Each structure stands twice: as structure tokens, then as C-alpha cells.
Homo-oligomer: A and B are copies of this chain.
Amino acid sequence: MAPQFSKTDETAINTIRTLAIDAVAKANSGHPGAPMGLAPVAHVLWNYYMNFTSSNPEWINRDRFILSNGHACMLHYSLLHLFGYDITIDDLKNFRQLNSKTPGHPEAETPGIEVTTGPLGQGVSNAVGFAIAQAHLGATYNKPGYDIINNYTYCIFGDGCMMEGVASEAMSLAGHLQLGNLITFYDDNHISIDGDTNVAFTEDVSQRLEAYGWEVIWVKDGNNDLAGMAAAIEQAKKSKDKPTCIRLTTIIGYGSLQQGTHGVHGSPLKPDDIKQFKEKVGFNPEETFAVPKETTDLYAKTIDRGANAEKEWNELFAKYGKEYPKEHSEIIRRFKRELPEGWEKALPTYTPADNAVASRKLSEIVLTKIHEVLPELVGGSADLTGSNLTRWKDAVDFQPPVTHLGDYSGRYIRYGVREHGMGAIMNGMNAYGGIIPYGGTFLNFVSYAAGAVRLSALSGHHVIWVATHDSIGLGEDGPTHQPIETVAWLRATPNLSVWRPADGNETSAAYYKAITNYHTPSVLSLTRQNLPQLEGSSIEKASKGGYQLISEDKGDIYLVSTGSEVAICVAAAKLLKEKKGITAGVISLPDWFTFEQQSLEYRKSVFPDGIPMLSVEVYSDFGWSRYSHQQFGLDRFGASAPFQQVYDAFEFNAEGVAKRAEATINYYKGQTVKSPIQRAFDPIDVNTRPGHGV
């Protein structure tokens, strides 16, 4: 039934507005305009429609709310405070201050914030992931009479989000997937940082969204038409096979002297403006951070409504547990982000007698084995399924049932050629809970998704990139497709595992760590070409991120390598021994991030003092001086030719490595060589400093 709106609603809306105004003014930094313009719809949504309980922000079936225009976060912080989340008035007063719960853009560490946003286009793309997760889990676990997982995902986004390509990708896919559980609000305020959007953004947004298969409802007075907003939300809920965009034409900074201009976007309101605003809406201009009792009272009822909704759900869920005990405990386990006991026994192991296999294929073997014991694995590819080998044989596609191409319980997502959208969607699916998403593309095109990968690492999303065709080894496709700098970029990103397994055991180790690292995304860099199974590798050793594959602490040199070049180093070591009487050890370092989690003692045992080390990797050697004295890498782009020819052209073969090993030994002859990992002091990383951001 549609709510009846009164003066009390207006007061509440102005409370949201004034809290935002006051917090931005106190910080002397921030964005008051969007919170002021969006306060009405936020009020209508939160107070009358959204299902949530502030006493348990982790309630499984809560409606999700995502603010994609994250710079408007004072809107969200105000709501969280007013609706009883663990955000105090003091937290609001600490807006944008060090170690506060209220940073300059919303971070998921804050209770009630579902996902870290701010970089434009990400939040709405995350929201598509949330909606996919709900649809999938609902289809998987709901039973007749037990609509256990049936929440909506609500998302507000602005003009900036609509201009970003990542949003275009995700929204097009959302239309294809007919995600009726996704209800978004487009803050059509015609203002971005460069001023009026007519300087750059004059497309017909409604028509574009309709082209994607969305339902679009236009509320032309987004400042005042509360009944229109309510009606739009109700209509959106009825749109079962289309995502909805409620287009709200609003005035940015509504009520400010500068309303409707860019002046109110990214800087505090001036004192006289604040004064006139508060007077106009009946607030005391002398007071800051005021919350009228009528607003507190109004929202108290909503807080109760939410608590009751959760209570009812808990009862239903308990009953469900009696009828469906296996599903019940599986839901609980998945949302606790725990893994089933013994799942890792499904990981394949190999001996040197086994065939040479491409690591993309080794990855397929792992996925084929583990998908049965890990129902939380939901995979996909950005239109490279047959190349990435990301789909196990009898996988069901996640598709609207009417398409007859799959159904919503399906665990394989056809993302289309939408790498960035896939990255942001995977982040959203993982943030929803109960799902560990993986997605395939060529390693080179993980870069297209850099914005999402970064937020994944910052937020600690448990997401796995299956990044095949990982070097010049992809051959004929040539330099446009051959990553050179990509792995350096990924390794330089905090809280990101970047696995480059050398064989089958290392591939299993990569998956083992990627799946057990709950708060770290992983990129698996995998080959197109075959790799032999190495003597001396094991899941256990590789799970440390680095180990001595051939120990020669009294030898002449260590060759330090990853992935496809490890076998080349083993061949080079053999050649050096046979032809030159030189003793070379080999260190395999499949994941720097994991290796750096090991004890200093262990790390020193892998990289001992007193022996020169040569790193060998067919990427930019950038960063490798951390783990070697001399580097053999590729500080240029690759070339189009069959794989072995490209490797030979750049001398990435046993002879080329042996030659450089000799040069390195000669260079360091007579010098005392220290382990490259020795440091005068520890770096500033997340372990040495507190604060937000991981």
C-alpha cells in the first residue's frame, strides 16, 4: 500500500540534508550537492521500502543498497546514523578524517556499507553482481513455501556512472539476464564536474537503457514528488523480468543558493548558504548535526520493522532448516565464508611422468574436479570460454529460464566481451556473500578491468581471474595480445595474489591459495602452450609462493623464475652442467604476494646469501631486482609468430638463459653477494600501519 506523506517526511529529508551539509562543512571538504538532491528518494526508499536491520547489517536476506556515485557518501552515512547503524554523530563529525568510519568515499569496512565505491561506474556494476548473486542463490536454495533468498538490490547512480564504459557493459548484461530484482535510481541532475552535462553528455539515457532491455520509469520532479517515487518503486518491484531504472530528474544541492550548479558539487556550502537553508526548512541555523525528535521517532518505527522482518525470516529459515538441513547448513557455511572440510583433496597432483599440459588446461582440470565440492564457485568468461577453458563439461549456464539456454541456478556466466564489467560484477557477487566468482579472459585484457581489479584488492574481494594466454607464448596473435607490463602492474598492487604456476602441482597450489585466501583476490596467469611436469614441485611447496625447485646453495648461480620459464631454467641448468661444468639451482616463485607472507627465515632459506641470482621471465623485468641480482626479461613489446619462434627470437630458451647465467656469474666473480631480499628496514605495508584501505 502506498505511503501517505506528511510534514514528518519533509523534516526527515531535511535532517538527512543538514547532516550532510554540516559534515562537509566541518571537514571543509566533500560533496554536499548530491546528498541534498537525493535525500528525498533515499528517505522514501529506506523508510518505506527497504528491508534491512541495523542491529544485524549482515542479515543474509537484507535488501542491498549501493551508492554508485560514492562521492555522495554523506547521504549514506547520514542514513546509517539515522537508521541505527553503528555510526555515531561523532563519526559524522570525523568525516574524511584519518582512521574514521566515514572516509571520503564509502568503504566496506564501515557497517552498513555493502561495497566500496567512488570510482565512477563501479557501484552500479557491482549492483548487477549483487542481483546475479541473489537470483542464483534464490534459484539454488528457495523451495516451495520457503522464499529464503528474495531480496532486492537497490542502487543510486549519477551521470558520471552512466558515462563510464564499465557501467555500459554491466547494464547491458543485466538487461540480457532479465534481472528483475535490480532497482536503480538515476540521479538525472544534469551536472557533473565540468558543469552542465550538455557539454559532453546529451544522449537519451532512457532510450539507451531500454535498448539494453531495461524498464525505465521517469519521475520528473525528483525533488518533491515523493508519491511518484513510491509509485515508481512499486512498479519496479512488479517488473519481474527486467531491471529497472527510476530516472529522477533532480536539482543538485536542492535548497542551496547555488542549487543546480556545479558550485554545489564538490565543496562545502558557504556559511550564509547553510544559514538560509536551515532557516528555510525550519531548522535552527545555530545548531549543527541536529536530529529532530520527530525524525528519530519516525525512523525508530522503521528500525523496528526491519528487526521484525529479520525475526520472521529467522523463524522461516529455522523451519527450512528442519525440512532441508543440507541446504540450510550449506547456506550458513557459504555466508560465513567457510569452505567445506576436505575440499582440497579434490585438487589433482602430478609426477614428472605425467604429460606436458598447458596451464590453462591444468586449470580446467582443477575446475572440473573442485566444482563439485565447492558449490560457491560461480565461473564465467568474457567471451573466451573455449580459449580460457573455464567451463566444466556439464556446467549449466546462468541464464533467464525463458531463453532455454540455462537457468538462474546455473553456475556459468557468459559475460560477453566485457572484461571491466565482469570484474565489477564479480566484486559485487562476492560482496553479496555465498559466492566465490572466477572469470576468464586473456591476461592482457585483465588490464581493461584495471578499475575493478584495484577495487577488488582494496576491498579484499574473494575473486579469481583465470588469465590465460599469459605471455608472448600465445604466439601468432602478436604484440597487441601479448602482455609485457601486466604482471608488474598486478604485483605492484597491494593485497593481490598473482600466480604464475609452472606445472600441474603449482596450478593446484594456485587454486588452493586462491580459494583459501578469503580476503585477497587472485589472478592466475596461465599458458596457452604446454608445460612439462617438473621434478620436485608439489602443492605444499608451491603454496608458500616460492621455493627451491633445485637446491644448490653451494652452486655457482640460482635461476629464479615463474610459470613457463621455470622448465626453461631447468633445461638451462642441465645445459650449464653438461657443457660448462657450472652448477645452477632453480627457484620457482609462482606468487610473490604469498611468498611475502612467509617468515623471514623461510624466505632467507629460499634466497640464501652468497650466490648470484638471475631472474628469468618473459615480461618486463620491472620489479625483479627485488628477487635477483640480474634480470633477463623483455623490456619491449612482443611479436606475432608461432610460439617457439617468438621464444627463440628473444632467446628465451635453454641456450639464451645459460649464456646470461654465465655472464652473471662472471660479473659477480670475486664479490660477496647478499641475498636480494635483505633490507635495512621493513616496508610500510598493511602489517606495519593501521587505518582504512585493506
Interface of A with B (CB < 8 Å)? Answer: 27, 29-30, 70, 96-100, 103-105, 107, 116-121, 159-161, 163-169, 172-173, 175-176, 192-194, 197-208, 210-213, 262, 381, 383-387, 397, 399, 403, 405, 414-418, 420-421, 444-445, 447-448, 450-451, 454-455, 457-458, 475-481, 484-485, 488-489, 491-495, 620-623, 625-626, 629-642, 645-646, 649-651, 660, 663-664, 666-668, 671-672, 676, 679-681, 683-686, 689, 691-694
Contacts and interface: CB of A to CB of B under 8 A. Distances in A.
A418 B640 contact: no
A318 to B, nearest CB: 39
A681 B193 CA distance: 50
The 5 A-B pairs at the shortest CB distance, nearest first, are namely A165-B165, A637-B693, A489-B489, A103-B640, A200-B416
Given A211-B208, A458-B637, A666-B680, A118 B416 contact: no
Nearest to A614: B680
Contact of A98 (B646, B680, B683): B646
B478 A103 contact: yes
B480 A684 contact: no
A481 B683 contact: no
A401 B362 CA distance: 58
A537 B168 CA distance: 46
A477 B105 contact: yes
A622 B492 CA distance: 6
Contacts of A204: 210-211, 213
A165 B478 contact: no
B488 A694 contact: no
A485 B479 contact: no
A169 B168 CA distance: 8
Contacts of A484: 492-494
Given A163-B383, A630-B681, A641-B98, A176 B200 contact: yes
Given A176-B203, A492-B485, A680-B668, A685 B476 contact: no
A172 B168 CA distance: 11
B640 A96 contact: yes
Q: A200, A212, A399, A458 — which one has the most chain B CB atoms within 10 A of its CB?
A: A200
12 contacts: A97-B640, A119-B445, A165-B169, A193-B385, A193-B387, A194-B385, A479-B692, A494-B637, A632-B684, A637-B686, A637-B692, A649-B691
Nearest to A480: B118
A480 B210 contact: no
B637 A70 contact: no
A636 B100 contact: no
Nearest to A641: B98
A387 B262 CA distance: 13
Given A454-B447, A488-B492, A637-B458, A199 B683 contact: no
Contacts of A642: 29, 96-97
Please tell me how many copies of the chain the complex holds: 2
Contact of A405 (B27, B97, B198, B672): B198
B680 A664 contact: yes
Contact of A681 (B173, B205, B450, B663): B663
Contact of A418 (B27, B164, B193, B683): B164
Q: A165, A403, A421, A641 — which one has the most chain B CB atoms within 10 A of its CB?
A: A165
A396 to B, nearest CB: 13
Contacts of A211: 203-208, 211
A164 B96 CA distance: 35
Given A175-B203, A445-B119, A480 B105 contact: yes
Nearest to A455: B480
B689 A667 contact: no
A27 B117 CA distance: 47
Given A107-B479, A625-B625, A415 B210 contact: no
A639 B418 contact: no
Nearest to A118: B480
Given A118-B480, A120-B417, A476-B30, A494 B680 contact: no
A104 B489 contact: no
B201 A636 contact: no
Given A479-B693, A622-B488, A685-B636, A383 B451 contact: no
Contacts of A639: 98-99, 103, 691-693
A618 to B, nearest CB: 9
A664 B680 CA distance: 5
Given A399-B199, A485-B493, A640 B681 contact: no
A97 B458 contact: no
Contact of A476 (B29, B387, B455, B640): B29
A626 to B, nearest CB: 5
Contacts of A666: 680
Given A96-B640, A636-B694, 7 more contacts: A97-B640, A168-B168, A192-B383, A208-B212, A445-B451, A660-B681, A664-B680
A30 B481 CA distance: 13
B458 A479 contact: yes
A98 B643 CA distance: 10
A169 B175 contact: no
Contacts of A681: 630, 660, 663-664, 667
Contacts of A668: 680
B386 A98 contact: no
Given A622-B488, A680-B660, A448 B445 contact: no
A402 to B, nearest CB: 12
A163 B631 contact: no
Contacts of A165: 164-169, 418, 420-421
Contacts of A622: 488, 491-492, 622-623, 626
A508 to B, nearest CB: 27
A213 B444 CA distance: 32
A671 B674 CA distance: 10
A612 to B, nearest CB: 8
A630 to B, nearest CB: 5
A418 B119 contact: no
Nearest to A676: B625
Contacts of A98: 639-641, 645-646, 649
A448 to B, nearest CB: 5
